[in-house]
Amino acid sequence: MKENKLKEKLINGHSVIGPFCKISSTSLVEISALAGFDFVILDMEHGPLSIESIQNLLNAAQSHGLEVVVRIRENSPTNILQILDIGVQSVQVPQINNVLDAQKVVNSSYYYPKGDRGMCRYVRSASYSKLNKNKYFDSANSEILTIVHIEGINGINNLKEIMGIDDIDVIFLGPYDLSQSCGFPGQINHPDVINKMKESVKLAKDCNKIIGTFCESPDDVQIWSDIGVQYIAYSVDVGIIMDAYTNIINKLKL
């Protein structure tokens, strides 16, 4: 199987950065690679991407050595299975609130003995059956990267137990949903939201867990990186384009 370079970087203590992508454009994925991002997060939860479009975008990314994460729609064994079967190795799962939610991610992502992922070797991840089936099933688990979204107070309150699951690789703090759960919808820089996130980062470091979050500016990236966040989701393709276009229009004097 293909080596998961994103997982390797994170395990070795490196910081990584990449945008969320909602636009089904192989060109934008290639541009992300050429610009120097470590990965892209193809967003099925808050975007219109289908399993077919994900596979096309995955092909474009892999041709440039760009790692791909997919944020699936919900914590469902079928959703996770389909993404992994087409060759995605890093799965990001939304709305994890407790240890049972997190364990469900592990069970769906891994083959025995770690989980009970549905077995099929006639899939892209197994080179459409060209790979020896015994070698494939034995090695598949080693390259999976599991990322869970902690997006509300329930998840924060259960964070220590969630971090106790060995095969959850990255804890991702979703600031927007957390702000809503804290009673300050959209105010991601509200002191209560920031404090909850900083407490979570400290807990992750104490538990030797990799942690990630979403940033909308280079200044935010620096702030969270300085306190130990390794996995940085930087803005969203549609927002990046909107900002660039708007700045051009605002600077024009026609």
Q: What is d(CA 127, CA 87) in angstroms, rounded to the nearest whole number? A: 9
The kind and range of the H/E element at 206 are helix 191-206
Residue-wise pLDDT for 104-116, tens only, equals 999 999 999 999 9
Predicted confidence at residue 134, as pLDDT, reads: 87
Number of Cβ within 10 Å of residue 12's Cβ equals 7
Q: Give which of 51, 109, 99, 47 is closest to 77, Cα–Cα.
A: 109
Q: What is d(CA 38, CA 59) in angstroms, rounded to the nearest whole number? A: 16
Q: What is d(CA 254, CA 252) in angstroms, rounded to the nearest whole number? A: 6
Digits of tens for pLDDT over the chain (254 positions)? Answer: 689 999 999 999 999 999 999 999 999 999 999 999 999 999 999 999 999 999 999 999 999 999 999 999 999 999 999 999 999 999 999 999 999 999 999 999 999 999 999 999 999 999 999 999 988 988 899 999 999 999 999 999 999 999 999 999 999 999 999 999 999 999 999 999 999 999 999 999 999 999 999 999 999 999 999 999 999 999 999 999 999 999 999 999 77
Global confidence as pTM: 0.95
Cβ atoms of 15 and 232 within 8 Å: the answer is: yes
Q: What is d(CA 129, CA 186) in angstroms, rounded to the nearest whole number? A: 47
Residue-wise pLDDT for 212-251, tens only, equals 999 999 999 999 999 999 999 999 999 999 999 999 999 9
99-109 vs 77-85: helix crossing angle, rounded to 10: 40
The kind and range of the H/E element at 193 are helix 191-206
| Structural domain 5-239, CATH architecture | Alpha-Beta Barrel (3.20)
Predicted confidence at residue 253, as pLDDT, reads: 75
Q: What is d(CA 92, CA 58) in angstroms, rounded to the nearest whole number? A: 15
Task: Please count the residues of the chain.
Answer: 254
Instruction: Specify the 3-state DSSP secondary structure of 135.
Output: helix
CB crowding 196-228: b at 16 or more within 10 Å, else e: bbeebbebbeeeebbbbbbbbeeebbeebeeee
51-63 vs 77-85: helix crossing angle, rounded to 10: 40
The C-alpha angle 125, 130, 133, rounded to 5 degrees, equals 75
If you average pLDDT over every residue of the chain, what do you get? Answer: 95
Tokens of 225: 């990186």
Q: What is the DSSP letter of 158?
A: T
Predicted confidence at residue 220, as pLDDT, reads: 96
